[in-house]
Amino acid sequence: MSPGLLRRLERQDPTAREPAPVVETAPPVAAAGRAPSTRETQPDQPERPRTVGEIIRHVQNRVLSGHAELLAASRHSAEERQRLKAVIARMLVEENLVVRRLTRDALSEQLVSEIVGYGPIDQYIRDPAVTEVMVNGPGRVYVERKGRLERVEAGFRDHDHLHDLITRVVAPLGRRLDQASPFVDARLPDGSRVNAVIAPLSLVGPVLTVRKFPERAMTLEDLVGLGALNQEMAGFLEAAVRARLNVIISGGAGAGKTTLLNALAGAIPGPCERIITIEDSAELKLPQEHVVSLESRPANTEGRGEVTIRQLLRNALRMRPDRLIIGECRGGEAFELLQAMNSGHNGSFSTVHANSATDALARVENMVLMAGEELPHRAIIDQIRSAADLVVHVERYADGGRRLSQIGLVDKEAGPDVSRDRVDLRAVFRFNVTGVTGEGSVDGCFEACPAVAPGWLSAKFRAAGEPMPPPLANETDRRGAGAG
């Protein structure tokens, strides 16, 4: 549907006296004998739907009652969707349903998108170049393309139109949206993430956010191609994954944490390792075959049945995991995560919402404090220092590009100058911004920070039979090089 189409539809009055709807009219098959004109009312027949909203509801009911199977199939197959469109086009002719200035084909397409798709935002949901669609009330729709936000010319008729769409999207997932539960966060069968909020929580009308699931999960190579990191950094991270370092990925909302987590997890050498993933809404898509995916569950409308990430993590520890991957650590589960990382589940990863790599460790500290385990502050700091090995911070820059702004190594060595009150990081790589071009592109370069690897890190790489990746070097290598 073309962008301003819906608005044009809304402006028009279907009862106006102007002649010539673009759709050809035909006699309804039900009416025998003389063909009634489009404007003629039939006293003994139900009134014909006239507004776009009425036509949608009418056709929807007819499709539901007469073509339920085709309707279900057309949600997953472009071919079946075309068949449904043909069925609807036939109905329009049979019942002489017309909307001025809309061809029958355009009206059928609109009806299909309203009935099986996402209505006014359907074209963006189906556009592979769009990664996220955001609807802020009926009149404002934004999409993200290539990391940049733009407003598009799509709109819903009114709050009810948007609310109906949200209800239709979340109902098959066993979720509902009403005054009693005015927001919902769910995952569609194709993996896309849907979040919706309505009044009284939202003051601008229903708000819908759809983060589309990439058809193919991004690998570290893909991220190198997108300029999120360079080849040397990718090599370093791959080696770190093979050497079973514990990694925390930090970043702001939408910075690319889950994407990077997926890419890192994709570098785990299979098939000998048992990987358990735990997420609020299962977004990870791993190439390995020995993967167990667990998903938390919100409470039902009676407030019962909630299963938290923390409970799942506790349970996962009894499932003989080789690697634990926590989609996002945002509460008490931080305590169990540190225990796991410190007790034989090396090579585990998680993400944390934070503004910087150092901030991420402070957030973990706060989350453990909130876990209610009454650990002394010093003990928490010691646990974090010994559990986490690497913090990778990912950022979304002004030009929409996501980049790894820092890869930092946790400072574990307890020298006299090591602070006992916080965990420090040593940068291995960082991204330095040098300027912003006239077109808004961010200029900058990745900087490697060569150093001698601390003893604990050399030991981990040695144990995994993995050479120390640049820009770090083992002490012994350096001495050897110096001697030679």
Task: Work out the burial of residue 267: count CB atoms within 10 Å of its CB; fewer than 13 is exposed, 13-18 middle, 19 or more buried.
Answer: middle
Give the nearer residue to Mg ion in terms of CB position, either 71 or 228: 228
Q: How far is the CB of 351 from Mg ion (least distance, A)?
A: 6
Q: Which of 257, 285, 323, 345 binds ligand ATP (CB under 6 A)?
A: 257
The item of Mg ion, ligand ATP, none sharing an interface with residue 226, based on CB under 5 to 8 Å by kind, is ligand ATP
Residue 257: CB minimum distance to ligand ATP, A: 4
Does residue 213 contact residue 191 with C-beta atoms inside 8 Å? yes
Judged by CB under 6 A, does residue 258 bind ligand ATP?
yes
Specify the stretch interacting with ligand ATP by CB under 6 A; choose among 26-34, 82-90, 250-258, 270-278. 250-258
Nearest-CA neighbor of 150 among 377, 440, 412?
Answer: 440
CB 373 within 8 A of CB 199: no
Cα separation, 392 vs 404, whole angstroms? 7
CA angle 415, 417, 419 (to 5 degrees): 100
| Interatomic CA distance for residues 95 and 30, integer angstroms | 8
Q: How many residues bind ligand ATP (CB under 6 A)?
A: 17
Smallest separation (angstroms) from ligand ATP to the CB of 85: 29
Identify the residue among 223, 234, 368, 371 touching ligand ATP (CB under 6 A): 223
- C-beta of 55 vs 404, nearer to ligand ATP: 404
Residues 6+ positions from 435 with CB-CB distance below 8 Å = 442, 443, 444
SS3 309: helix
With binding defined as CB under 6 A, does residue 255 bind ligand ATP?
yes
Strand order in the sheet with 402-410: 291-295, 275-279, 323-326, 349-353, 247-251, 390-396, 402-410, 425-436, 442-448
Which residues inside 95-154 make contact with ligand ATP, applying CB under 6 A?
131-132, 147
The residue written with tokens 């056709």 in the block is 59
Shortest CB 234 distance to ligand ATP, Å: 12
Residues that bind Mg ion (CB under 5 A): 257-258
Pick one of Mg ion, ligand ATP, none as the site partner of residue 324 (Cβ within 5 to 8 A by kind): none
What is the distance between the alpha carbons of residues 447 and 465, in angstroms, rounded to a whole number?
27
Q: Give the x-and-dash track for 394-433 against ligand ATP (CB under 6 A).
A: --------x-------------------------------
Instruction: Verify binding: residue 254, ligand ATP, rule CB under 6 A.
Output: yes
Closer residue to Mg ion in complex, CB, 95/279? 279
**Do the Cβ atoms of 395 and 255 come closer than 8 Å?**
yes
Among ligand ATP, Mg ion, none, residue 348 binds (CB under 5-8 Å by kind): none
Gap between the Cα atoms of 433 and 233, Å rounded: 17
Give whichever of 28 and 147 is closer to ligand ATP, judged by the CB atom: 147
Cβ nearer to ligand ATP, comparing 115 with 229 = 229
Find the binder of ligand ATP among 123, 230, 259, 356 (CB under 6 A).
Answer: 259
116 CB-contact burial (10 Å; exposed 0-12 / middle 13-18 / buried 19+): buried
* Contact between 94 and 86 (Cβ < 8 Å): no
Contact between 474 and ligand ATP by CB under 6 A: the answer reads no
Which of 261, 268 has the CB closer to ligand ATP?
261
131 binds, among ligand ATP, Mg ion, none (CB under 5 to 8 A by kind): ligand ATP
By CB under 6 A, tell whether 281 contacts ligand ATP.
Answer: no
Residue 328 C-beta: closest distance to ligand ATP, Å: 6
Binding segment for ligand ATP (CB under 6 A), chosen from 105-113, 252-260, 284-292, 450-458, is 252-260
Nearest to 158 by CA among 198, 106, 206, 125: 206
Burial class (CB in 10 A: 0-12, 13-18, 19+), 344: exposed
Q: Give SS3 for 132.
A: strand
Per-residue x/- track, 174-213, ligand ATP (CB under 6 A)? -------------------------------------x--
- 3-class state of residue 435 by DSSP: strand
Q: Which is nearer to Mg ion, 201 or 253 (CB)?
A: 253
**Is 285 among the residues that bind ligand ATP (CB under 6 A)?**
no
Whole-Å CA distances, 446 to 227, 259, 415, 430: 10, 20, 30, 6
The distance of closest approach from Cβ of residue 216 to ligand ATP in the complex, given in angstroms and rounded to an integer, is: 11
Q: For residues 228 and 325, which CB has a smaller minimum distance to ligand ATP in the complex?
A: 228
Task: List interacting residues with ligand ATP (CB under 6 A).
Answer: 131-132, 147, 211, 214, 223, 226, 228, 251, 253-259, 402
